[in-house]
Amino acid sequence: MGELEGKVSLITGSSSGIGAECARALAAAGARVVVNSSSSIAAGEAVASELPGGAFYIQGDISDPSQCRNLVGSVVERCGRLDVLVNNAGWTTRVPHTDLEALTDEILLKTFEVNVHGTWWMSKAAMPALTESEGCIVNITSIAGLRPVGSSVAYGMAKAALNMLTIDLAKHFGPVRVNAVAPGLVATPWTSDWDDSHAAIAALVPAKRSATPEDCARAVMACVTNTYMTGAIVKVDGGTTLVL
């Protein structure tokens, strides 16, 4: 019997990358896993189909508050409970930090709608069920919320907001535990063509490589399984913040 046997976990943006690895790790620990994505339906269904324990897929766009409510409601209706919410879904695009004109209003708004508003709406919708189960939230943030690095100024602003949201929810909504995992650069399908960035990180940081989705999933599992851990921002950056 796994450590999370009988628990129900929902991971947003889990059709690939960090989210998919979190789904695999949670399922391996015995949880029933709900996979989600906004548009990559076939990929999400494929991830769910490979998992044990009655895993299934639900499509939903977290940048829409009504879809967030429906997503959480569907999980609770089908499973009877919700114990773990991993707010992984996010969006970014590369914009030079020094180019103010290139950071358009559209990019700024979309970055916040998905990364900040979506995480807030999901957390708000899930809080009643998580309170009942004394469950937990894990937000996937970034060291861009701690240092002026990352794909854009907007991305750093959004991730800093998520770090503060994590701490605020942890303080005021116990016994629900709320933590964040803040990766450095991660080798995912999203960053597969960021060769210059991966090379720069490998040359600079003590770990001599970018993070993997598995690295991040292990940190998420620590946040889920350590029941005396809340309000923490866990860096998974190979020492990036030591040198930047």
- Per-residue pLDDT, averaged over 124-147, amounts to 97
Question: Angle formed by the axes of helices 213-225 and 17-28, to 10°?
Answer: 50
Amino acid identity, position 177: R
> Per-residue pLDDT tens for 177-225?
999 999 999 999 889 888 999 999 999 999 999 999 999 999 999 999 9
- Per-residue pLDDT, averaged over 70-87, amounts to 98
Q: Which of 91, 112, 120, 155 is catalytic?
A: 155
pTM score, whole prediction: 0.96
pLDDT at 100: 94
For residue 1, pLDDT over 90 is answered with: no
> Per-residue pLDDT tens for 159-168?
999 999 999 9
211 in Cβ contact with 183 (< 8 Å): yes
Domain positions in the chain: 8-243
- Per-residue pLDDT, averaged over 67-85, amounts to 98
H-assigned helices in the chain: 17-28, 41-50, 65-79, 105-112, 118-133, 153-172, 195-204, 213-225, 240-243
Average pLDDT over the chain reads 96
Q: Is 155 a catalytic residue?
A: yes
Calculated CA dihedral for residues 20, 206, 235, 6, nearest 10 degrees: 40
Structure tokens of 82? 């919700």
pLDDT at 50: 97
- Per-residue pLDDT, averaged over 4-17, amounts to 97
> Per-residue pLDDT tens for 33-67?
999 999 999 999 999 999 999 999 999 999 999 99
CATH hierarchy code of domain 8-243: 3.40.50.720
- Per-residue pLDDT, averaged over 147-169, amounts to 96
